[in-house]
Structure 1
Amino acid sequence: MTDTIVSPRVGAAGCLRLNRPKALHSLDLAMVRRMTQVLLAWRDDPEVRIVLIDHAEGRGFCAGGDVVTIARALEGHEQAARAFFFEEYRLNHLMYTFPKPGVAFMDGVTMGGGVGIACPCRYRVATERTVFAMPETAIGIFPDVGGGRYLSRLRGRVAQYLALTSARLSGADCKALRLATHYLPSDALDEAKARIAADPFRVEAILDELSVAVPEAPVMARLPLIDRCFASDDLGTILACLDAEDDGWAAETAAAIRAKSPTACAVSLRMLVESPKQPHFVDEMRMEYALMVRMIAFPDFAEGVRALLIDKTGDPAWQPLADTDSFFEPLAPIDAWSPL
């Protein structure tokens, strides 16, 4: 059986390579555990100066977490489903606090859980093949894996737009919004990795030298409309503003939001208010885990996964909009998330 995480040492670099191409390198629990194990070993290894994260063959860097497996686990025992998020968030926190620099090569589909392992890295490389998104509201949950922290730091109201719509960003968009630190052509990545492994202290200079002119970023032309129509933290107000615009893009955007779980959208908006109040990343992860425990128990998660990923009918029957207060209640200490 092929290892789904390959972790060679190349020069002074530790390389984490996602190797599950048929699933667009989606993360399952075994992959999360292996990445955690390897990073803990490298953390105290003086021979490892830098960590490079990429993917094997295929068009995805990482399409997210394996939510189909998680949803099926819910049918048997909710604790099994919780275990994935508990350990995934520990990996996210380990990466965020890791003492050695990381370089994520976001070459291809980078969504959900893929964002969670890319954004903690000091250097985040986009290419012409990058497709970046946080599509969680489409399956009844919210942009997690630290998404509240990463998105809420974006300029204007882009965070609210991305969270509600599941909009896909190009590599140029990622660079313009500073989600990516560098933009390289995909055919330069092998050279970049080899040079960084040979001379990790020049990582930033190497990425600068191999960077190319960034194409026009489509999202930038939409920023005034995004800032105006997503200015509210209330879902109904956002939809009303989009409906009032004499603009085809606004109409398409409103339709995209209405196709998502209304409760997941409302929870996502509130999370983007609460996340900047969390003093440290550990607090963000603790809040997101409590949210996720409540969200996967809410019917929209199983229904969204069924309609979009299992039966693929595209017709989820969402629950009416629920009050968000109960989702944000802290868990009892015995159930709460904790870092490694």
Structure 2
Amino acid sequence: MYDDESVLLHTEGHVLRITLNRPRALNALTHTMVRHIGEALTQAADDDAVVAVVVSGAGDRGLCAGGDIRSIYEDARAGRRASVDFWRDEYRLNARIARFPKPYVALMDGIVMGGGVGVSAHGGVRVVTERSRVAMPETGIGFVPDVGGTHLLAAAPGELGTHLALTGQPVNAADALMCGLADHFVPSQNLPGLVQELSLCTTPAEVTETVQRYTAPAPESALAPHREWIDDCYAAETVEEIVDRLMAWGAPAGETAASLLALSPTALKVTLEAVRRAGRLGSLEATLDQDFRVSCRAFAGPDLVEGVRARIIDKDRSPKWDPAHLEDVAAAAVARHFEPLGEEELGLCRTP
């Protein structure tokens, strides 16, 4: 049991409503929230009276902006390991969501980033709206996309996933659908009606039918007009070559190159390798095992703390990356992020 109200649970009809309830922090996930959601899913899976779960965020800004970055920053600076424990439970939750035996309806309205993608985009029924802004923005703070995000992005058409992983660019509803991060578009004004009708459902089939009935055509894609240069540039073998190709294409590809060069060189190189490996790994569980290794190694490096400091703490937007240039990031340093952790392995692929 938990004394706080960071996650609200209530049953409407045969549907369990899970509401992330930290609106002032844009519903950023804490370790307590992850554990609370996990326990709720365990109970819902075993409760014959529950036919579906609906996940949403409190407030009007979004579902979830990700993990509690300030806590991770303070943890890393103090040399503690609480963030590692948080990731262990968070990634296990991501895997459970993907395998949840009943309809898991994620209302991805507003901002859905990082850990917010983890608690929504692995679900079976993913709903976006005209307000949705979906992203894995980790490279902006010297980190690497986690929560199984590279598994999703590696499966996106062409090189769209590589583009989104490296740049951290948020996408709208149409592009979330195109990239395989969502399933249905529902206008935000219709969400209350959808939730109300879902509460009347008595079978999983009725849940599916209800969501389909509310589904509408999504607004225009922002990424589709740029597929040619995205697919060409991000097919390159290295980040350096990607940047060179982007520059050769001219605007807006050249502007993208400039934005990449402002990000952590180490994070960019590890992210590219993580997406490529995720495509070969195939399963979400294997990718989450990889994510845990990468996150633990990045947590011990200098760029995560510096990236959070520059963007969130001091807000000077002038991080001093170490190393500072792409050419100074050794291949061996990248490879170390993927080395096994021994007894500390997440081990989802070994879990029955």
How far the C-alpha of 1:89 sits from its partner, in A, is 0.8
Give the structure 2 partner of residue 241 of structure 1. Answer: 245
- How far residue 172 of structure 1 moved from its aligned partner, in angstroms, is 2.1
Counterpart for residue 45 of structure 1: 47
Is 1:231 the counterpart of 2:232? The answer is no
Trace 1:93-242 onto structure 2 (pairs within 5 A).
Answer: 93-199=95-201, 200-242=204-246
Q: Shift of residue 322 of structure 1?
A: 4.0
1:140: Cα distance to partner?
A: 1.1
Deviation by residue 1:287-336 (Cα, 9 ceiling, x = unmatched): 1101110011110000001000111110110112243111111111x211
CA shift digits 1:25-66 (9 cap, x unpaired): 110111111111111111111111111111111311100011
Give secondary structure in 1 for the equivalent of 2:318: coil
In structure 1, the residue matched to 2:72 is: 70
Aligned residue number for residue 19 of structure 2? 17
Query: How far does residue 2 in structure 1 lie from its aligned partner after superposition?
Result: 5.9
- Asked if residue 337 in structure 1 is aligned to residue 346 in structure 2, the reply is yes
Q: How many angstroms apart in 2 are the aligned matches of 1:27 and 1:40? A: 19
Structure 1 counterpart of 2:173, one-letter code: G
Q: Is the 8 A contact 1:107 1:130 kept in 2?
A: yes
Structure 1: which 5+ residue stretches go unaligned?
none
Q: SS in structure 2 opposite 1:275?
A: helix
- Quote how far apart the aligned CAs of 1:215 are: 1.6
Which runs of 5 or more structure 2 residues have no equivalent in the other structure?
324-328
Q: Tell me the residue number matched to 1:267.
A: 270
Shift of 1:235: 0.2
Tell me, yes or no, if structure 1 residue 90 matches structure 2 residue 92.
yes
Tell me which residue corresponds to 1:289. Answer: 292
Give TM-score scaled by structure 1 length. 0.96
Q: Distance in 1 between matches of 2:164 and 2:155?
A: 13
What do residues 102-138 of structure 1 show as CA deviations (whole Å, max 9, x unaligned)?
1111000000000111111111111010011110001
Aligned residues with identical type, % of pairs: 36
Alpha-carbon separation, structure 2, partners of 1:279 and 1:206: 31
Please point out which of 311, 318, 326 is paired with 2:336.
326
Task: Give per-residue Cα distances to partners, 1:221-257, cap 9 Å, x unaligned.
Answer: 11111001111131000000011113x2112101111
Tell me which residue corresponds to 1:316: 319
- Whether the aligned pair in 1 keeps the contact of 2:150 and 2:165 (CA below 8 Å) is no
Return the match for 1:278 from 278, 281, 286: 281
CA distance in 2, matches of 1:218, 1:75: 39
Figure out how many residues of one structure are paired with residues of the other and give that number: 338
Contact 1:43–1:98 under 8 Å retained in 2: yes
Which residue in the other structure is 2:309 paired with? 306
Give the Cα–Cα distance (whole angstroms) in 2 for the partners of residues 318 and 190 of structure 1: 45
In 2, Cα distance between equivalents of 1:283 and 1:335:
15
Structure 2 counterpart of 1:335, one-letter code:
E
Displacement of 1:211 in angstroms is 2.0
CA contact (8 A) 2:293 2:341 kept: yes
- Opposite residue 227 of structure 1, the aligned amino acid is D
Once residues 166 and 263 of structure 2 are traced to their aligned partners in structure 1, the CA distance between those partners, rounded to angstroms, is 8
| Shift of residue 15, structure 1, vs aligned partner | 1.1
- Within the candidate set 31, 35, 38, 2:37 is matched to 35
Q: Distance in 2 between matches of 1:139 and 1:312?
A: 11
Query: Which stretch shows the higher mean deviation, 11-20 or 322-331?
Result: 322-331
Measure how far apart 1:67 and its partner are: 1.5
Post-superposition offset of 1:279: 4.8
Structure 2 CA distance for partners of 1:124 and 1:335, relative to 1, 3 Å: same
| 1:64 match: secondary structure | coil
Letter in 2 for 1:325: A
Could you report, residue by residue, the CA deviation over 1:248-273 in whole angstroms, capped at 9, with x for unpaired residues? 21121011111111111111111111
Q: What secondary structure sits across from 1:6 in the alignment?
A: strand
Between the aligned partners of 1:264 and 1:62, the Cα distance in structure 2 is 23
Q: Deviations over 1:67-114 (max 9, x none)?
A: 110110122233222111111111111111211121111000000000
Tell me, yes or no, if the aligned pair for 1:233 and 1:270 is still in contact at 8 Å: no
